[in-house]
A and B are shown apart, each in its own frame.
Chain A
Amino acid sequence: MRKKQKQKIVLPPELPPEVPDDEIQVSDEDLQFVDQNRDYAGFVSNLDTKSITKHVTRVADVKDDALESMYERRLRKKSADKDKEEDEVEVDPVDALPVKTLDGKLYYRTVPSAAKKSETEATAASEDNGTATPMVKLTKAEKRAKQKKLRKEAKKQVKETAQSDEVRQAPQSEVLDEVKKELTAEEANEKKKYRLAELGTALLVDPESNIKSLREMLQIAKDGDHSIVILGLKSLLAVFKDILPGYRIRLPTEKEQQMLVSKAVKKTRLYESTLLTAYKAFVQKLIALEEQAVYKRVAMRCICTLLEAVPHFNFRDNLLVAVVKGISSQDDVVRKLCCATVKSLFEHEGKHGGEATVEAVKMIAELVKVHNCQLHPDSIDVFMSLSFDEDLGKPESSEVDNKTKMKNSKKKRKLVEPNKLPASENKRSRQEIISKTREEVKADYKAASFAQDVAERRRMQSDTLSAVFQTFFRILKHAMQSLASSMGESFSLPLLAPCLNGIGKFSHLIDLDFMADLMNYLRKLAGAGSQKNDSHHLTVSERLQCCIVAFKVMKNNLEALNVDLQEFFVQLYGLILEYRPGRDKGEVLAEALKIMLCDDRQHDTQRAAAFVKRLATFSLSFGSAESMAALVTLRHLLHKNAKCRNLLENDAGGGSVSGGIAKYNPYATDPGLSGALASVLWELNLLTKHYHPAVSTMASSISTMNTVGNQVSHSNISPQQAFVQLSHEHESFIPASNTKKTSNKRKKGCSLSFPISSASKDELMTLADENAVRNKLSEHFLILDNIVENERLRTELYCTNMSLKLCEQYRKQKKRIR
């Protein structure tokens, strides 16, 4: 009995007939079962009868006597209208709710028996409605809508009947509303959650038959409650992610709809259209919710997941718009999410055939344009994950081949056809038919085949590329303009760094026609800080990056013509001095050294010497990582330019060797005019005493380069590697522990033996020192202890002596007295 009650908790007070306990007959089997399984039955004893009854007679706020009267009236009704009994039972409390007037009196609605008959239909309808609430758990909005509809229907039906009925109907619906409001919010929410789960699983199990319930889920998601909306969105997302087909749905045109179709087709069409409308509503809702601060993240996450999962599907544009908008959002979470989505979109082009890439890139370009380049750097960083198929350039030639082939074949055909003219007309028409069908088949195959048209893909790629470079150039131009316009004013160029990165990455794809302008801009940007006005607009890293990008662009495009980027060398020459370890990125500097000085094939002797000298100066003044990078570059330069090794000689050169400039000018801005050949690399001598063994060995190996002659040993370590190595090591560096490195170097030549031995000696020294210090300290403290002890003993001795003397004196005095 009680179990039964519990199950029906949800149902409004359909109370079981009151049966006294002693009348209940318990079968022997049941008793046996309970005896055997005490555990199962345990909950029965724990049941909270009170709360259960409360739940069952849920019209809780009503006073007891009211309840009583309600039940009474129910009984009366039962007797009056037996065939409608069940419905009546369920709806009764609803019907019978008292109306409270302003002065506080309660009026119980008494149903006149005359109107009853005519009203039954209407009540039945509203009863349905009432009973439906717990069963189907519609959202409030829908309920209300349904109510209205029902009310209208009811009105129509009751039109003939007396007007008093209508008057009474209005209060009835009001009463219904009130009842619904009385349902506590939590219960409703719980119900909705369960409902969501049920619908979702049902949809996943069999989407075709349950497709209609999408609408209901959407309704639930429109709920006013925060958590319910979020849950609704999430479950809808999960469902859509699963059931959306792998193709784009095209709704049938009117003409198609008019055509007769089989049942299966009709069914599919219905399914698709329902799915599509639901999806559309969902997307619209997401985009609308995305505007609200509360739902922003959830909505964005949904949008991103959808776009990532089904980029091929309808309404991709709307999703893309939202995602691209979020790419430069202030909110870190949203921005990261959007960027990740766009990146994955770029990386998995196969999913959507590249169309989404083109659209996204174009949108980003537009975004940059609209915001006048004031965006978060992340928004441009996404371009880095674009990939362009370089082989696509090849089909052009093959196409040309095709064309020529076609021409050839046409010619051949022309040649052939005249021969065939004499053949019978029949044959020719048959041949035409054959060729026609062949073409048709080919076209069909093309349409059906999964592989994309190469030309189409190329078109899309070039679209993407042009949009990307449009963005890049816009940023560069904007940087230039702001440099020119605002003298001294501070402004930010957030997009410049990622833009330069991007240009560096895609430099091989730049059209040669843009090259001149690009180099021009880069040159100006690289020199932006070096002008005499003190406002250094661009950071050193950015300017270094400009140089690097220029070199990359040149290297990638100009295999044929070896262009000397003199002005960038001038910039680098100045920038080396402006570098500050904390402020600027050492990696960028190392990269610049690598690309500009190590990779470049030839150098002027003057320039190389100037760089050698400057790098040596540089390595004296900065940390071990920077100086190591500089030294590696220096060695490379010296290795390549035999003339520069004059710098290693001990006497200040000059004369014919040093060219036109007789004296080293450390303040020259142009490396070619510094006259560095006239100087001596005394820095190396200091560097051999560097605290870092790697640096000191490197310095000594360089300084012995000349005497050893054309040393072949030339490690291929790049400045970048050296920098990274030492900067990583820096954290865990202990001056005497770098034996691994030195042993590496040992292989290179006997000339290196000196620093190694010195290093190891140092090591031993420090070890020995430690022991000695320990010994000495212990000795010292021992002595101190002894002294203290000594003093104590002495004072004691003194005291006893004194007392002894006193004692003797006393005795003497005593004797005298006697």
Chain B
Amino acid sequence: MRPLDENETTQVFEKLFKFVGSNLKNIVENPSHEGPDPNPGRYCFRLQKNRVYYVSESLVKRATNIKRENLVSLGTQIGKFTKTGKFQLTIQSLNLLAANAKHKVWLKPTSEMSFLYGNNVLKGGLGRITENINPNDGVVVFSMSDMPLGFGVAAKSTQDCRKMDPNGIVVIHQADIGEYLRMEDEL
């Protein structure tokens, strides 16, 4: 377990920024109420076995007691570095993203299932969409009852969505909560 170096930090923050925009500040400055300290600590990012974790400082302190090769996980995993050195957000980060998301898409109940099987979001399945989405923005996908289902990348801007045909792709799938079942081993 080690802190991220500069290169890794920029990669992580850039990725997060796509989804949460200026709310990134909230993520970094979020006070944690964990541990015995009367003063709330902060959350920080830690790298362990190519995976990036979002951990409270008190937890980091206590985790130092465990040998690196024995430490399986700590805090919330938010992503991992691939073998080529790129950073990827994983589905565990969904809660963090959903709370701070700038761009949201709500799915109709009929198309929820399709998304949870790993398919892209089509125009026809769109229940609602945040205004002012630009292509390549990170989008968090919700069910109509405001339950976060996953996230992806916008393929079209909100304006363009209007003119699209129902079969056009609005959000390109990146991760969904179906992965907890489908890819249990890999997570």
Contact = CB atoms under 8 A, between A and B. Distances in A.
Interface of A: 512, 515-516, 519-520, 523, 554, 558, 560-567, 602, 604-606, 659-662, 670, 672-673
B122 to A, nearest CB: 13
Given A562-B127, A564-B128, A566-B131, A670 B23 contact: yes
Interface in B119-155: 126-132, 144, 146
21 contacts: A512-B162, A515-B159, A516-B159, A562-B127, A562-B129, A563-B129, A563-B131, A563-B158, A564-B104, A564-B128, A566-B104, A566-B130, A567-B132, A602-B128, A605-B146, A606-B146, A660-B96, A660-B100, A661-B99, A662-B33, A673-B99
B157 to A, nearest CB: 8
Residue from A512, A561, A670 with most neighbouring chain B CB atoms (10 Å): A561
Contacts of B100: 660, 672-673
Interface in B30-89: 33
A672 B96 CA distance: 13
B129 to A, nearest CB: 6
A515 B146 CA distance: 27
Contacts of B144: 602
A516 B132 CA distance: 8
Residue from B102, B106, B127, B131 with most neighbouring chain A CB atoms (10 Å): B131
Contacts of A659: 99
B111 interface: no
Contact of A554 (B95, B104, B131): B131
Interface of B: 23, 26, 33, 95-96, 98-100, 102, 104, 106, 126-132, 144, 146, 157-159, 161-163
B99 A561 contact: no
A605 B158 CA distance: 23
Nearest to B147: A605
**Shortest 6 CB-CB contacts between residues of A and residues of B:** A660-B99, A562-B128, A516-B159, A564-B130, A563-B131, A565-B131
Given A519-B131, A566-B130, A605-B146, A561 B162 contact: yes
Nearest to B163: A512
A564 B162 contact: no
Contacts of B95: 660
Contacts of A558: 162
A602 B106 contact: yes
B99 A519 contact: no
Nearest to B130: A564
A661 B33 CA distance: 11
A659 to B, nearest CB: 6
Contacts of A606: 146
A554 B157 CA distance: 15
Contacts of A672: 99-100
A561 B130 contact: no
A523 B98 CA distance: 23
A556 B161 CA distance: 17
B123 to A, nearest CB: 8
Contact of A563 (B23, B99, B130): B130
A662 B128 CA distance: 27
Given A564-B131, A673-B23, A673-B26, 13 more contacts: A512-B162, A516-B157, A519-B132, A558-B162, A560-B162, A564-B128, A566-B131, A567-B131, A602-B106, A660-B98, A660-B99, A661-B99, A672-B99
A672 B98 CA distance: 10
Nearest to A517: B159
Nearest to A602: B128
Contacts of B131: 519, 554, 563-567
B43 to A, nearest CB: 11
A604 B158 CA distance: 19
A393 to B, nearest CB: 18
Nearest to A563: B131
A560 B159 CA distance: 12
Residue from B26, B98, B129, B132 with most neighbouring chain A CB atoms (10 Å): B132
A673 B96 CA distance: 12
B161 A561 contact: yes
A794 to B, nearest CB: 77
A562 B106 CA distance: 9
Nearest to B32: A662
A329 to B, nearest CB: 41
Contacts of A519: 131-132
A659 B142 CA distance: 14
A650 B112 CA distance: 36
A561 B106 CA distance: 11
A563 B163 CA distance: 14
B53 to A, nearest CB: 17
A602 B162 CA distance: 19
A85 B158 CA distance: 100
A753 to B, nearest CB: 36
Nearest to B96: A660
Contacts of B158: 563
A581 B158 CA distance: 37
A62 B45 CA distance: 117
Contacts of B98: 660
B129 A561 contact: yes
B128 to A, nearest CB: 4
Nearest to A512: B162
Contact of A564 (B129, B157, B159): B129
Nearest to B128: A562
A514 to B, nearest CB: 10
Contacts of B99: 659-661, 672-673
Nearest to A561: B162
Contacts of B157: 516
A313 to B, nearest CB: 46
Contacts of B129: 561-564
A290 B131 CA distance: 51
A138 to B, nearest CB: 72
Contacts of B23: 670, 673
A560 B128 CA distance: 10
Contacts of B106: 562, 564, 602
Nearest to B161: A561
Contacts of A563: 128-131, 158
Nearest to B98: A660
Nearest to A662: B33
A560 B162 CA distance: 8
A563 B105 CA distance: 9
Contacts of B146: 604-606
Contacts of B96: 660
Contacts of A604: 146
A523 B157 CA distance: 16
A454 B26 CA distance: 59
B98 to A, nearest CB: 8
A69 to B, nearest CB: 100
Nearest to B144: A602
Contacts of B126: 561-562
A606 B142 CA distance: 13
A529 to B, nearest CB: 18
A606 B126 CA distance: 21
A570 to B, nearest CB: 10
A605 B146 CA distance: 7
A520 B129 CA distance: 16
Contacts of A673: 23, 26, 99-100
A524 to B, nearest CB: 11
A800 to B, nearest CB: 87
A564 B161 CA distance: 13
A565 B132 CA distance: 8
Nearest to B126: A561
Nearest to A565: B131
Contacts of A561: 126, 129, 161-162
Residue from A515, A562, A564, A566 with most neighbouring chain B CB atoms (10 Å): A564
A346 B157 CA distance: 39
Nearest to A554: B131
A512 B96 CA distance: 35
Contacts of B159: 512, 515-516
A673 B126 CA distance: 24
A248 B127 CA distance: 57
